Each structure stands twice: as structure tokens, then as C-alpha cells.
């Protein structure tokens, strides 16, 4: 009997991040990536969104392994939050392992992974099946895709990749040899990323920063500032190579120094930079400015806030001041959720008078498969079934249309566009079954990370936060004596983000009167529990406020009862 195969995406479809694809072959579960996503402005106070792991926790005894393709947050950052509840071997390369360990330590998160270190190109037996790992060229060091053998053919997951035959950095090589080997066997199902599927041509060579900024290292006598996201190790490698080539000393500005230097370069890429090229904090002022490169590494909004602080002179290290004798090269290209903050930080840089080099997204594109990259994989493997993953619905559709238009046997019957939580099942029947996620049979609601742990807040709290950001808050408090049946302190009415208090005295007085009326009514009735009273106050006050000025602030009545 042929293998029964089921695929359930828990995240990564119609969104940017949270990649998590659950592949079930008979009784074994293979989890392909487990990442996080950044929130947009509609979810205030939340740091990350994670895949909902309830399905994995319920089936933890069947998990054969987690396969983390590379060290980017959208692929790896979700696992640590639920791993203790659904442990299994984690297959990852050396760089990915060290990044995940350091990321957990940096937030004091105690988790003990069962690591299985693999090479970017490798072969392992997992749950009685051969798993082929093939190195991909991506902007994370030692990234891989994988192929799992079944009796129906290989199931191939590309991970994030581009096709680049001219790559010289060994940790970013494109493993064409293994892919040619895999192409000799039937590919039953191919999962390929979609993030840049709407862009024509190949990604290469527009992913390279080197030719865009080399002239500033070669010809300029100014001190160079340059920013970069800390997870974009390919781009950092290019910067360090330029420093080495033009004999520049490099100073790592912020907290990500130890993480990147210890893990990515001094251990894994010792030829990219030497310890003597790195300037310590103590020696910063001993290096000639024209010989110095200051590298700012960071994560998302933290990096842009750091840039804004330096440009305004609000940074902690007062030895570093931006001015006309400096060059600032901005190559940390903003994601859609960070564009406003990024634009403001760049604008503040122009005010310093420094020479500003703003790399545009049209000149430097992220290392994700464009149309010709995808065509290469599709034409080489010629899958029987095809599932676009990783990207917005538009990206998924563009990927699917591209595949169907190649005339390699793919059509609307064997190319799938599905949502998170839906199931594709290949069993003894002649056609695959696509099962909707009715009544939330498989929980897919994002898990929210608020601070250093999984948030306990629900949709109601998120709604309250949105309301606070738009309409503000009104708080009215008083202390009452139960024995005297009177208010002995207050009421005190405070407003934040609602109206200018000095111009709102009549409004404050009316709100306070409503509060006093309801509290005194409750006291005269001999009530000692004021929960119902507070709801009445809240209802009356909110209706009054809406009638007076059309606003709908969060309203918080507080009654403190004493004997």
C-alpha cells in the first residue's frame, strides 16, 4: 500500500513569516520550519506572532523531527516557545543552532533542544526514511532545502533560495550537484517559496551589496557608518570582506556584536575578518577616522531607533557623533511593517550633514526566488504536484500561475493554493483531497508574544490597546465609606490621549456627576459590591461622551471601599 501523505500548514500562507509546514507520512510527522512574524500596527504591544502549536502538542508522540532550514526569525524563532511541550530532534546546521541558542539566551529563555547537527548538504535517516539536505544560496549562512523519500516519489521543500552559480562564499553555495541527483528520481510534491514570485528574471546579481558600495571603501577618506539587519549574514560578509580588502578597521556598535562575531564569523568564516581588524571599545578613539568603519547591527525597529538616536545625539556613547566628515550607508532595507519608522530614521540622518548613501530596494533586492529562480527548480524537478508557500495570497497566486504556464504538466488540478489549517491528503484515492479547516478543527490563530513570553492577552485586550491609541482613556476614582455611606475621597477624574484637560472642565464635571450619582445610589441601597455599579457608570459615561464629542475612549471607573 502506498504511503499516505498529509500536509497541514500552521503558518506562512497569506502572510510574511510564521513559516511552519507539518508534513505527515503515514504515522510520522516532519515539521518544516517553525518561525515567527512581526506584527503590524493593528496589534499594539505585541512583539511577535507564532504558529499555533496545539496540533503539534496533541500529536507530539508522532513528531519525527523539526527541520529548521536557516537562521532567520520567520523560520526558527517560534520553536523555543513550545518545544518543551512537543520535543523531538531538531535538524539544523551549525550556524542555525548557534543563532537559536544565543537568541534563547538573550531573552533568558530556558529550553534544551535535542540538536542533530547536519551539514548544508547531507543525508540522514529519519523515521526510517532517507532525508536529503541540499545547500541553498540565501542571505543566511548555511541554509538548506530538503527532500524526503516516499514510495510515491520525493517530497521537496526548497526553503528560501536563489540561483547563483558564481557564488564564492562557501556558506552560501548553491548545490546544483545534489539537485541534479534528486531530479533523476520522481518529485511527487514540491513546496517552493513565493515571496518574490512576482518579480521577473533571476534575483542574482541584484542581491549583491558589494558593487554598490565598494567605491566608498576604496576612494573616500571619511569615516564610514553602515547599517544592516543582524540576521542578514550574507550582507555582513560582504561588508567585512570590503573592510579586509581596503584595510579598514571595524567597530561593532551595539549588543549584536557578540552574537554575530562569535557565531558567524570568527567560528565559521575565519577568513572573512581577523580579530586584529576589530576595534575594541577602549581603542575606538585611537583609530584614524578614515580607517574606521562603524557597523550598526540590529533587529527591525530596534535598529531604526538606534539610528535615529545617533543622528539626534541621543545615543549612549557620546564619543560617536555624526557630522559632515562621515558617510552613512543605509542598506537595511525596510520590510512593509517598518517602512514609516525607517523613513523617519533616514530623514534624521540627512539632518546631521553627513554624506548619505541610501541604497534603494530596486538596486538591492532580498535573496528570495524570483520568477526565473522558480522556473529553474520547476523545470529541473518537474513535480507531480506543486504547492506555493511563504508569502501573501498575491505571491502564492503569481507562483502558481508561473508554474501552470510552464507546460510541464502542472495545471489547476495538481497546483494548490490553500490557507493555513487546510489539509491536503494523498491516500489510496486517485485524486488528492483538500479539506477545509471547518470550525477551527486545527487551531491556527496566531500565538502572541508580549515581552519575553507568550502573552495571555486575548482579542479583547488588543481591542482595548487599539482604542487607547486612538481615543485615549478616562479614569475616575473615589474612596467610599461603607459605614458612613458616603464618598470620603474624590472623585478624581484623569484623562490621557482624550481631550486637553484644561479645555474640558465641563466634560470632567459631568462625568464626575454621573460617577457620584451611581455610587451614592449604590451606597443608599446598602450595596458593598460595586461591580454592577461600575458597569452602570461606564455605560452612562461612555454614552454621554459619545453624545458630546463623538469619541469613544476606554473608560475605567474605580471604587475603593473601606469600613
Distance between CA 385 and CA 378 in Å, rounded? 11
Q: What is the pLDDT of residue 25?
A: 96
Residue appearing with cell numbers 555624526: 322
Same domain for 468 and 512, yes or no, is yes
Domain boundary among 433, 454, 475: 454
Q: What is the pLDDT of residue 472?
A: 75
pLDDT of the residue at 124 = 97
Q: Which 3 state secondary structure label does DSSP give 495?
A: strand
Looking up cell 548555511 gives 142
For the CA atoms of 363, 70, 33, 432, the dihedral, rounded to the nearest 10 degrees, stands at 70
What is the mean pLDDT of the segment spanning 421-450?
A: 85
Distances (CA, A) of 298 to 131, 358, 374, 453, 541: 34, 17, 30, 20, 45
Query: Is residue 429 packed enough to be buried (19+ CB in 10 Å), middle (13-18) or exposed (0-12)?
Result: exposed
CA atoms within 13 A on the CB side of 468: 13
- Give dist(CA 130, CA 474) in Å, integer: 62
Q: What is the C-alpha to C-alpha distance for residues 560 and 483, in angstroms, rounded to an integer? A: 13
Q: What is the pLDDT of residue 255?
A: 57
Q: What is the dihedral of CA 139, 115, 185, 196, to 10 degrees?
A: -20
Say if residue 298's pLDDT is above 60. yes
* DSSP for residue 247: T
Q: How confident is the model at residue 500 (pLDDT cuts 50, 70, 90)?
A: low
Domains: count for the chain: 3
More confident residue, 466 or 34: 34
Max mean pLDDT range (90-104, 137-151, 167-181): 137-151
**What's the rounded Cα separation, in Å, for the pair 143 and 504?**
59
3-state helix, strand, coil in the chain (%, to 5): 35, 25, 40
At residue 389, the pLDDT reads 97
Greatest Cα-to-Cα distance within the chain, rounded to the nearest angstrom: 90
The least confident of 182-191, 220-229, 386-395 is 220-229
User: Which range has the worst mean pLDDT, 300-309, 329-338, 364-373?
Assistant: 329-338
Are both 14 and 126 inside the same structural domain? yes
Grade residue 268 by pLDDT with cuts at 50, 70 and 90.
very low
| Cβ(388)–Cβ(196) below 8 Å | no
Contact indicator for 254, 324 with CB cutoff of 8 Å: no
Nearest residue to 553 (alpha-carbon basis) of 491, 492, 466, 488: 466
Verify that 239 and 325 share a domain, yes or no.
yes
Give which of 196, 168, 189, 164 is closest to 376, Cα–Cα: 164
Pick the last residue of a domain from 337, 358, 379: 358
Q: Are residues 197 and 226 in the same domain?
A: no
Burial track 249-260 (b if 16+ CB lie within 10 A, e otherwise): bbbbbbebbebb
406 and 464 belong to one structural domain: no
Please tell me whether residues 399 and 473 are part of one structural domain.
no
Using pLDDT thresholds of 50, 70 and 90, give the confidence band for residue 453: low
Rounded to whole angstroms, the Cα distance separating 161 from 367 reads 7
CB 368 within 8 A of CB 196: yes
Q: Which of 454, 482, 502 is the last residue of a domain?
A: 454
Domain that holds residue 254: 210-358
Q: What is the pLDDT of residue 526?
A: 79
Residues 31 and 173 in one domain: yes
The string of pLDDT tens digits covering residues 61-81 is: 999 999 999 999 999 999 999
pLDDT number for residue 269 = 53
CATH of the domain at 296: 3.40.50.10710
Are both 381 and 332 inside the same structural domain? no
Q: In terms of domains, do 219 and 350 share one?
A: yes
CA distance 228 to 236: 7
Arithmetic mean of pLDDT, 491-511: 72
The mean pLDDT value for 12-36 works out to 95
User: Residue 431's CB: how many other CB atoms inside 10 A?
Assistant: 9
What is the C-alpha to C-alpha distance for residues 176 and 506, in angstroms, rounded to an integer? 75
C-alpha distances in Å from residue 280, one per residue of 284, 286, 292, 294, 326: 6, 10, 12, 11, 20
Q: Categorize the per-residue pLDDT at 303 as very low, low, confident or very high, splitting at 50, 70 and 90.
A: confident
pLDDT tens-digit map of 82-137:
999 999 999 999 999 988 988 888 777 888 999 999 999 999 999 999 999 999 99
Q: How many CB atoms lie within 10 A of CB 183?
A: 16
Any idea how long the chain is? 563
pLDDT at 458 over 60: no
Is the C-alpha dihedral spanning 242, 99, 456, 494 positive or negative? negative
Distance separating the N- and C-terminal Cα atoms of the chain: 77
Q: Is there a single domain that holds both residue 423 and residue 482?
A: no
Distances, alpha carbon 512 to alpha carbons 507, 536, 548, 551, in Å: 9, 13, 15, 17
CB 148 within 8 Å of CB 30: yes
d(CA 418, CA 9): 9
- Specify the pLDDT at position 480: 82
| Mean pLDDT score of the chain | 86
Cell of 134: 541540499
The mean pLDDT value for 309-337 works out to: 87
Residue 197 and residue 54 share a domain: yes
In this structure, what CATH number is given to the domain that contains residue 19?
3.60.15.10
Q: How far apart, in whole angstroms, are the C-alpha atoms of residue 277 and residue 242?
A: 12
CATH number at residue 526: 3.10.20.580
Q: What is the mean pLDDT of residues 265-269?
A: 50
Tell me, yes or no, whether 315 and 389 share the same domain. no
- The C-alpha atoms of residue 468 and residue 497 are separated, in whole angstroms, by 8
Amino acid at each position: 500500500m502506498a504511503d499516505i501523505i498529509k500536509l497541514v500548514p500552521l503558518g506562512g500562507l497569506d502572510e510574511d513569516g510564521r513559516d511552519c509546514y507539518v508534513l505527515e507520512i503515514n504515522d510520522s510527522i516532519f515539521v518544516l520550519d517553525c518561525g515567527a512574524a512581526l506584527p503590524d500596527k493593528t496589534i499594539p504591544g505585541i512583539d511577535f506572532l507564532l504558529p499555533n502549536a496545539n496540533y503539534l502538542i496533541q500529536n507530539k508522540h508522532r513528531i519525527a523531527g523539526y527541520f529548521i532550514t536557516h537562521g532567520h526569525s520567520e523560520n526558527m524563532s517560534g520553536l523555543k516557545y513550545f518545544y518543551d511541550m512537543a520535543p523531538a530532534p531538531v535538524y539544523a546546521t551549525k550556524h542555525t543552532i548557534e543563532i537559536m541558542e544565543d537568541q534563547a539566551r538573550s531573552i533568558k529563555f530556558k529550553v534544551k533542544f535535542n540538536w542533530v547537527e547536519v551539514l548544508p548538504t547531507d543525508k540522514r535517516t529519519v523515521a526510517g526514511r532517507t532525508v536529503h539536505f541540499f545547500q541553498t544560496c540565501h542571505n543566511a549562512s548555511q541554509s538548506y532545502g530538503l527532500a524526503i523519500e516516499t514510495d510515491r516519489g520525493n517530497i521537496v521543500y526548497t526553503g528560501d533560495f536563489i540561483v547563483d552559480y558564481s557564488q564564492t562564499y562557501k556558506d552560501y553555495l548553491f548545490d546544483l550537484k545534489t539537485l541534479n541527483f534528486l531530479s533523476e528520481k520522481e518529485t511527487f510534491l514540491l513546496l517552493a517559496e513565493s515571496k518574490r514570485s512576482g518579480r521577473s528574471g533571476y534575483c542574482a546579481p541584484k542581491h549583491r551589496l558589494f558593487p554598490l558600495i565598494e567605491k566608498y571603501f576604496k576612494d573616500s577618506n571619511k569615516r564610514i557608518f553602515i547599517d544592516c539587519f543582524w540576521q542578514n549574514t550574507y550582507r555582513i560578509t560582504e561588508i567585512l570582506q570590503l573592510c579586509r580588502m581596503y584595510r579598514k578597521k571595524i567597530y561593532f556598535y551595539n549588543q549584536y556584536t557578540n552574537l554575530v562575531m562569535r557565531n558567524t564569523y570568527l567560528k565559521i568564516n575565519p577568513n572573512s575578518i581577523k580579530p586584529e581588524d576589530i576595534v575594541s571599545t577602549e581603542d575606538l578613539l585611537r583609530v584614524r577616522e578614515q580607517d574606521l568603519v562603524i557597523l550598526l547591527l540590529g533587529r527591525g525597529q530596534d535598529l531604526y531607533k538606534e539610528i535615529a538616536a545617533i543622528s539626534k545625539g541621543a545615543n549612549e556613547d557620546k564619543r560617536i557623533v555624526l557630522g559632515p566628515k562621515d558617510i552613512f550607508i543605509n542598506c537595511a532595507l525596510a520590510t512593509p511593517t517598518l517602512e514609516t519608522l525607517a523613513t523617519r530614521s533616514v530623514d534624521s540622518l540627512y539632518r546631521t550633514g553627513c554624506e548619505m548613501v541610501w541604497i534603494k530596494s530596486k538596486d538591492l533586492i532580498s535573496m528570495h526566488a524570483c520568477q526565473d529562480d522558480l522556473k529553474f527548480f520547476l523545470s529541473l524537478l518537474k513535480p507531480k504536484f506543486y504547492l506555493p508557500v511563504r508569502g501573501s495570497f498575491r505571491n502564492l497566486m503569481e507562483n502558481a500561475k508561473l508554474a501552470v504556464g510552464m507546460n510541464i504538466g502542472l495545471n489547476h488540478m495538481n497546483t494548490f493554493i490553500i490557507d493555513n489549517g487546510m489539509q491536503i491528503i494523498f491516500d489510496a484515492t486517485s485524486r488528492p483531497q483538500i479539506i477545509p479547516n471547518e470550525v477551527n478543527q486545527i487551531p491556527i490563530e496566531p500565538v502572541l508574544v508580549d515581552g519575553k513570553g507568550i502573552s495571555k492577552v486575548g482579542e479583547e485586550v488588543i481591542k482595548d490597546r487599539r482604542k487607547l491609541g486612538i481615543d485615549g482613556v478616562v479614569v475616575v476614582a473615589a474612596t467610599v465609606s461603607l459605614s458612613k455611606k458616603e464618598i470620603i475621597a474624590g472623585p478624581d477624574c484623569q484623562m490621557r490621549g482624550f481631550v486637553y484637560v484644561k479645555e474640558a472642565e465641563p466634560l470632567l464635571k459631568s462625568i464626575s456627576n454621573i460617577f457620584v450619582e451611581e455610587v451614592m445610589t449604590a451606597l443608599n441601597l446598602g450595596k458593598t459590591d460595586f461591580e454592577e455599579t461600575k458597569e452602570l457608570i461606564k455605560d452612562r459615561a461612555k454614552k454621554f461622551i459619545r453624545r458630546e464629542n463623538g469619541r469613544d475612549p476606554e473608560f475605567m471607573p474605580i471604587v475603593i471601599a473601606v469600613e
